[in-house]
């Protein structure tokens, strides 16, 4: 009888120990979540770094496509001969092929003064007076961000083309930054309610965003009227409201080419629906 009781006791002790261990582990995990939820700080800063890295990788793709086209025999023959019909047809074909992977708003053949000879896409001709083309006119390659209409912000590359040391023109390709932000949004979270949004802002006005274009005006007004700071643990973070919903946000100044030349061209704002403390604990 004593042996049976001893066995039962050991089993009971083991069960109690397992329960205590489970409860203890749960409390440790919960405490960690409570601590993180209370003081997660400016968590969007690291996501902004990822977005900017992704943006630069797409810019690299635009650069690669531009350099590749500059080595195409048909493209170079058309540019040398000044055959506008041939350049136009090639620009349309190249844009259609490139747009299978991402949209392009400009595939253009340029003259030696960066004047457009043949273009495919919807970018406005006013862009060619930009200081961004000073490099091309000086036979230098350039790439980066460009503020321009109608898309607001573009990732571009401009490749000069010379024959026997004489500049005869160039190639210009541009993809809308909104593509980058829309793609990043889809990758940011599998749950739509938690996905990150982005907007490019110039002098307080939204120029492009992951919101529908018809909402840019409302987004501009809401951001200007409600942007403010609050405390997240020991860290000051920024929030604003859109349609009655509070969003966390983080912003960075963008450098690129604007109407006045190279320099600050606006700011990129990354934002997400702000979750409650309780929701963050149980996420």
Predicted pLDDT at 235: 81
Between 89 and 127, where is the model more confident?
89
pLDDT digits (tens, 9 = 90+) for 168-216: 999 999 999 999 999 999 999 999 989 999 999 999 999 999 999 999 9
Q: How confident is the model at residue 81 (pLDDT cuts 50, 70, 90)?
A: very high
Q: How confident is the model at residue 42 (pLDDT cuts 50, 70, 90)?
A: confident
Predicted pLDDT at 88: 95
Predicted pLDDT at 9: 57
Predicted pLDDT at 30: 39
Predicted pLDDT at 276: 45
Look at 44-58, 121-135, 240-254, 269-283 and tell me which has the smallest mean pLDDT. Answer: 269-283
pLDDT digits (tens, 9 = 90+) for 128-158: 888 889 889 999 999 999 998 877 999 999 9
- The fraction of the chain above a pLDDT of 90, given in percent, is 66
pLDDT digits (tens, 9 = 90+) for 54-72: 999 999 999 999 999 998 9
74-97: average pLDDT: 94
Q: Which two tokens stand for residue 112?
A: 């030696």
Mean pLDDT over each residue of the chain, to the nearest integer? 85
Predicted pLDDT at 12: 53
């Amino acid at each position: 009888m004593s042996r049976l009781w001893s066995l039962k006791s050991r089993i009971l002790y083991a069960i109690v120990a397992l329960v205590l261990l489970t409860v203890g582990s749960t409390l440790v995990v919960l405490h960690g979540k409570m601590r993180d939820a209370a003081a997660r700080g400016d968590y969007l800063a690291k996501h902004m770094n990822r977005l900017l890295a992704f943006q630069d990788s797409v810019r690299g793709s635009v650069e690669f496509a531009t350099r590749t086209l500059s080595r195409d025999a048909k493209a170079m023959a058309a540019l040398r001969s000044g055959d506008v019909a041939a350049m136009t047809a090639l620009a349309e074909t190249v844009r259609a092929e490139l747009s299978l992977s991402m949209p392009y708003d400009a595939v253009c053949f340029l003259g030696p003064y960066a004047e457009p000879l043949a273009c495919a896409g919807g970018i406005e001709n006013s862009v060619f007076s930009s200081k961004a083309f000073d490099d091309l006119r000086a036979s230098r390659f350039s790439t980066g961000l460009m503020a321009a209409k109608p898309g607001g912000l573009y990732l571009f590359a401009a490749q000069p083309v010379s024959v026997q040391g004489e500049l005869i023109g160039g190639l210009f390709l541009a993809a809308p930054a909104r593509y980058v932000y829309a793609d990043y949004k889809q990758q940011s979270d599998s749950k739509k309610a938690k996905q990150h949004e982005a907007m490019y802002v110039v002098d307080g006005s939204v120029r492009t965003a992951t919101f529908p274009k018809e909402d840019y005006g409302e987004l501009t007004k809401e951001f200007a009227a409600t942007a403010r700071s609050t405390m997240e643990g020991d860290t000051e973070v920024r929030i604003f409201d859109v349609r009655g919903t509070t969003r966390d946000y983080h912003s960075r100044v963008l450098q690129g080419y604007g109407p006045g030349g190279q320099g600050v061209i606006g700011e990129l704002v990354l934002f997400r629906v702000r979750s409650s403390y309780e929701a963050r604990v149980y996420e």
